[in-house]
Structure 1
Amino acid sequence: MGRKVTVATCALNQWALDFEGNFQRILKSVQIAKGKGARYRLGPELEICGYGCWDHYHESDTLLHSLQVLAALLDSPVTQDIICDVGMPIMHRNVRYNCRVIFLNRKILLIRPKMALANEGNYRELRWFTPWTRSRQTEEYVLPRMLQDLTKQKTVPFGDVVLATQDTCVGSEICEELWTPRSPHIDMGLDGVEIITNASGSHHVLRKAHTRVDLVTMATSKNGGIYLLANQKGCDGDRLYYDGCAMIAMNGSIFAQGTQFSLDDVEVLTATLDLEDVRSYKAEISSRNLEATRVSPYRRVTVDFALSVSEDLLEPVSEPMEWTYHRPEEEISLGPACWLWDFLRRSKQAGFFLPLSGGVDSAASACIVYSMCCLVCDAVKSGNQQVLTDVQNLVDESSYTPQDPRGPGWPSQRLWALSVR
């Protein structure tokens, strides 16, 4: 048995309450991950129901339909022979939690509830969820009958727990937990967890990619280990834009970078990494090892499955890379443009009406709309069938293919209208 593992993380454009569409995008991401040889697939926060459900989280139907999607994922042949880590709301003992559900081959391995909720600025998670506050403690979650019949399990571990495979140990963080002063990855890494996953619903703010990269690389630099970050992308029906930026890091370096402004609904990153690099890196940090002898242990849920496979079946080990950042001007142009496109196709409107007064505000708005048109044309040229289908639905013309955002291939009566006043 080798020591090299291939892991996958995703950026998905999940729509609030679009259970069928979200299910299909999750399945597609798993299929891509397996096709690249991954044995562990991580998805974004609350990917089954969509992050921006707001007060629909209070409705029992949201919980029910999320469970139905989970059942369909468990039963699908696509999700077999790969550990799948998906996000959804779960009611446990009449308390609603934001959870990760980790499963393999029609068996739920564990449910890990979020422990630190985002509740400032644009976030109101405490309105809908309760944080799990019992560090390193677990309970037994009684599965609904629809899942019992499928998995042949009555209960599964629920709480602050980590997953031990045959060859390594995996721990979960959820979005805000990476940003807190005492992130769970610190004690998990000290307790021998070698792979940390983080499922996020993190919106775009100017230069936020810098902060994410700094947090992830610093986490793995001080403590060693592999870190996977997944994120939501798209507007999700709100005024915010979730900008993807999935990444994979190890021992303070980036090994895979996802796009920040993309019209692709499904993006999957993989990296093949050597666990021996993690172990030798950790063992060389004397101060870290002293702390490790004092840390309280986590309960480990064991699974008879290995993330590493025969060396002959693996891709070459991934190489570290430098993160490529957008300039501020590019972020200002691309972020709002992506939001405009997502809002337009989801609302199914005929286009935008853009009055031009000649001032700086209207000129900037026109530039952002033009940036949107450029993104759409580029996506179509690169073969993005979903974008082409969305364009044809918007203009109600199945044979239409946009060619140039400026010229006759993009007439004013179609995706955007100009009115000079």
Structure 2
Amino acid sequence: MGRKVTLSTCSLNQWALDFDGNAERILKSIEIAKANGAKYRLGPELEICGYGCADHFYESDTLLHSFEVLKTLLESPTTQDIICDVGMPIMHHNVRYNCRVIFLNRKILLIRPKMLMANHGNYREMRWFSPWSRLRHVEEYFLPRMIQEVTGQDTVPFGDCVLSTKDTCIGTEICAELWNPNSPHIQMGLDGVEIFTNSSASHHELRKAHQRVDLIKSATTKSGGIYLYANQRGCDGDRLYYDGCAMVAINGDVVAHGAQFSLDEVEVITATLDLEDVRSYRGELCNVSRYQTDFSLSDPDDVYLPTHQPIHWPLHKPEEEISLGPACWLWDYLRRSGQSGFLLPLSGGVDSSSTACIVHCMCVLLCQAVEDGNIQVLKDVRHIVADEEYTPQSPKELCGRIFTTCYMASENSSQETCSRAQELAAQIGRYH
């Protein structure tokens, strides 16, 4: 008989320092995961406080409120009977770490700090966090009193550790660790870990989704195993757009994936897989520190439970990414700014015209989301246009409500540029 496990990962649209909203979205994702039969739920990097808190990570309030959210999660009936893997900052021995907190039934099983930091390009993690540099080393972390009162635990394991259930073993990677030449999954796979998880805040960059897919497929092609990938979605307060792409892979094949560009605030991806497929793929492998938990991801009567099979993931073309990525970022920025729309000086040239087309693309996405029954998008659109009864009828009609352009002539302008601006305005329906 096989040992079939049902696992969930997700993409969440978390906002920096929106502790109440972030907690609500985390609980919603756990609720969906349980409804789909999952025994393990993985979330994005630093999902409790939001990834883009910048220098607010220095403030003790950010740590305090993160623990208050963790307390809410631990106490919620929603989080019972499922292993929950959430991200938050934690101070240990007066050093601040980017951590995963894994808990089950009001008990924290372990805390795993990030070991390899993203500190190049758009990322400055070394400014706020220290990497955990003690490989295969686990210490005792003293929990805050508010958490002790809920869990009944004084200390929990903290460090480079994996989680051993009664039927399998789960190891954690955090975002940039997957991209490192010495990724943790390599040694974990050699030590017999069967399920790898990766919690990310990976921003959209042209063709980057292909790189993620290739890295995850490669990780499980080399040593076998199941790989869960979770990612932040949306604009969490900075200039970056995080593009989701949550996925599940096994032995080099992707079996389930989420959208790259979506307006859904909570997207949960669930897959049922057979651990025997991993074991037959591998040879005999052998020792990292393990925390044993009296819990099984599989059920005794799972012989007839269908498992997810490899699928083809039709990733977006470069032209689609150029249009959809900025369009999603614009929507997040607009709905969080409290403004009523966009104003664009339209010259008729390529720069302003391209920007106008991206705004129209945003309206296309909004109308499609409303048509698909996304209540949150409809609520946000109504708030922006200040009409609680409004429902967009078409992208062109919506564009006319939230997008204004004006032609600002100079001595270098011509009748041709003026005509082009007017024509483009008419084509996409904006107020000009």
Runs of 5+ consecutive residues of structure 2 not aligned to the other structure: 409-432
Q: Which runs of 4+ in 1 moved over 6 A?
A: none
Does the residue aligned with 1:219 lie in a helix, a strand or coil? helix
Output aligned runs, 1:252-263, within 5 Å: 252-263=252-263
The CA distance in 2 between the partners of 1:415 and 1:55, in whole Å, is 33
Tell me, yes or no, if structure 1 residue 418 matches structure 2 residue 408: no
> Could you tell me how far 1:419 is from its partner in structure 2?
1.5
> Could you tell me how far 1:420 is from its partner in structure 2?
2.5
Tell me, yes or no, if structure 1 residue 329 matches structure 2 residue 316: no
Match of 1:355 in 2: 345
The CA distance in 1 between the partners of 2:282 and 2:313, in whole Å, is 23
Runs of 5+ consecutive residues of structure 1 not aligned to the other structure: 284-288
CA distance 1:278–1:140, change in 2 (3 Å):
same
Q: Which amino acid in 2 is paired with 1:132? A: W
Match of 1:374 in 2: 364
Identity %: 69
Point out the structure with max Rg over C-alpha: 2
Q: Is the 8 A contact 1:2 1:308 kept in 2?
A: no
Q: Is the 8 A contact 2:2 2:275 kept in 1?
A: no
CA distance 1:411–1:8, change in 2 (3 Å):
closer
Q: Is the 8 A contact 2:360 2:399 kept in 1?
A: no
> Could you tell me how far 1:311 is from its partner in structure 2?
3.1
TM-score (norm 2): 0.93
The CA distance in 1 between the partners of 2:304 and 2:387, in whole Å, is 45
The CA distance in 1 between the partners of 2:55 and 2:337, in whole Å, is 20
The CA distance in 2 between the partners of 1:314 and 1:108, in whole Å, is 33
The CA distance in 2 between the partners of 1:164 and 1:367, in whole Å, is 51
> Could you tell me how far 1:309 is from its partner in structure 2?
1.1
Q: Which amino acid in 1 is paired with 2:166? A: Q
The CA distance in 1 between the partners of 2:52 and 2:304, in whole Å, is 38
Match of 1:64 in 2: 64
Q: Which amino acid in 2 is paired with 1:129? A: F
Q: Which amino acid in 1 is paired with 2:191? A: D
The CA distance in 2 between the partners of 1:177 and 1:113, in whole Å, is 11
Aligned-residue Cα RMSD (Å) equals 1.1
Match of 1:32 in 2: 32
Does the residue aligned with 2:291 lie in a helix, a strand or coil? strand
Q: Which amino acid in 2 is paired with 1:365? A: T
TM-score (norm 1): 0.95
The CA distance in 2 between the partners of 1:44 and 1:217, in whole Å, is 19
CA distance 1:314–1:268, change in 2 (3 Å):
farther
> Could you tell me how far 1:2 is from its partner in structure 2?
5.2
Q: Which amino acid in 1 is paired with 2:101? A: V
Q: Which amino acid in 1 is paired with 2:327? A: A
Match of 1:220 in 2: 220
Match of 2:117 in 1: 117
Tell me, yes or no, if structure 1 residue 266 matches structure 2 residue 253: no
Match of 2:425 in 1: none
Q: Is the 8 A contact 1:354 1:419 kept in 2?
A: yes
The CA distance in 2 between the partners of 1:26 and 1:159, in whole Å, is 24
Q: Which amino acid in 2 is paired with 1:147? A: I
> Could you tell me how far 1:322 is from its partner in structure 2?
1.3
Number of residue-to-residue matches in the alignment: 408
Does the residue aligned with 1:406 lie in a helix, a strand or coil? helix
